[in-house]
Amino acid sequence: MAIISSTQNKRVRIVKALQTKARLRRGEKKLVLEGDRLIGDALQSGGHPDLALYAPERADYTLIARLQNSDCQLLPVSHEVLRYASDTQGAPGIVAVFHIPKPPLPSPVKRAVILDAIREPGNLGAILRSAAAAGVEIAIVAPNCVDPYNSKVMRAGMGAHFRLPIVEATWAEIRAYCADLQICAAAADGECAYADVNWDQPWALIIGNEASGVSSQARMSSSFGVSIPMSRDTESLNAAAAAAVILFEAQRQRMSAD
């Protein structure tokens, strides 16, 4: 197959558009992954690839074979085309389009994280990565969050999108789904220290906005606030760090009980 060298190629432009347009990602129900590791993790987790652009001189042909076995359309392209289609400064050797995963939702749910107006892509991706590693069963994206399928979120998530069910929901839907859970909100002024919470019972943890904390809707939806004791003169942790501290304490308690 001839190497594609034009950025005006229709399929190349589709990949570029999926990188930059959230509305198109939602409409097509597709996302873009970059690099051997992310694509390999997605395949390992049962992801369904649709199209891949790769540079023949930099390709991992073991990965190419795995994509081919998954009925993925493979297009060799020039380095310039790959750099155009990529969202990173140093373009990887491969960029692939996958269907947005839609695994079944846990019912009943016992461990959920609720993301409240998280705007920074790196934070959202890091929270999803920690949640997947800490045994969370579902991540619920509340209103006013950054698009969870943004390319920067995907990179920071390191494959969490294919290991953890992720849903977007209104606060009314969240309250209904989590009605049987202990809902708590991470907050600097929370009345309960995170290590004193009983994480053995079914729970949902709300992580709030990086700058303004949890929203009024989140506070209305939670029973109490959870804080992380810190040294004096320390204002706060960022959202991703706070989430990791609390989520792994919950996992520690659960593993100790088991």
- 209/115 Cα distance (integer angstroms): 8
Is 116 in the same domain as 63?
A: no
- List the chain pLDDT tens, one digit each, 258 residues: 689 999 999 999 999 999 999 999 999 999 999 999 999 999 999 999 999 999 999 989 999 999 999 999 999 999 999 999 999 877 789 999 999 998 888 989 999 999 999 999 999 999 999 999 999 999 999 999 999 999 999 999 999 999 999 999 999 999 999 999 999 999 988 999 999 999 999 999 999 998 889 999 999 999 999 999 988 776 678 999 999 999 999 999 999 987
- Give the residue numbers spanning the domain of 180: 111-257
The bridge status of strand 73-76 relative to strand 49-54 is parallel
Report the domain count for the chain: 2
- 225/242 Cα distance (integer angstroms): 13
Is 149 in the same domain as 209?
A: yes
Residue 55: Cβ within 10 Å count = 20
The pTM of this model reads: 0.93
pLDDT of residue 88: 85
Query: Does 152 map to a domain?
Result: yes
The CATH code of the domain that includes 33 is: 3.30.1330.30
Beta bridge partners of 32: 97
The CATH code of the domain that includes 224 is: 3.40.1280.10
